[in-house]
Every structure is written in structure tokens, then in C-alpha cells.
Amino acid sequence: MGLTIELPGELEERLRRSAAEEGMDVRDYTRHLIEQGLAADRETPGSLWHSLGATEWCRRFQEWAVSHAHSTAPVIPLEALRREHLYEDRL
């Protein structure tokens, strides 16, 4: 199937520049971006839950959580999460 789209000049130039930076032909690079976008669309949290069983979804969630285990973010003490600390102006 062939598809032709018109792009504003600035967008086309950005696309060509990005393709060159990746060492790809602009057509191949554009196809790659579209495939990535479509794959990401299928894996949005709402659709992922419906396409996977609960066990597989949990497994993937746990993998995702473990992938953040080496985060440099500070640990928030549990005391800071108490209601009176979150809503000081609503006591």
C-alpha cells in the first residue's frame, strides 16, 4: 500500500534531520516511527490490561517496578505520608 502525506516544511526538515542522525533513509525512518507509535498505542495501560490476563499483567508490572529499583530519587519516610502531613491546612 502506498501512502502520501503532506508535511509542513519545518516538520519535513526535522524528519529528514532525525533520519540522517539515525543513519536511515527518510522513508525507512518514517516507517520505523509509525511502527513504534502503533506498538506503543497497543501497550497503553488501559488496553494492556484487557489484552493480558491478570497474572501476565502483574508480572509485567513487577518487571517495570524492579527496573526502577536503582532510582536516585530520595526515599519518602512513611511518616510524611500521614494524612495530617498531607493536608496540614485541613485539620
Residue with cell 495501560: 45
Which structural domain, as residue segments, surrounds residue 29? 9-90
Whether 50 is in a domain gets the answer yes
Whether 3 is in a domain gets the answer no
Whether 47 is in a domain gets the answer yes
The helix, strand and coil proportions of the chain, stated in percent and rounded to the nearest 5, come to 65, 0, 35
pLDDT tens for residues 5-63?
899 999 999 999 999 998 999 999 899 888 887 776 565 555 656 667 778 878 888 98
- Total number of domains constituting the chain: 1
**Residue 26 has what pLDDT?**
92
Burial profile 55-90: b = 16 or more Cβ within 10 angstroms, e = fewer: eeeeeeeeeeeeeeeeeeeeeeeeeeeeeeeeeeee
**Residue 17 has what pLDDT?**
92
Whether 32 is in a domain gets the answer yes
Whether 4 is in a domain gets the answer no
Whether 26 is in a domain gets the answer yes
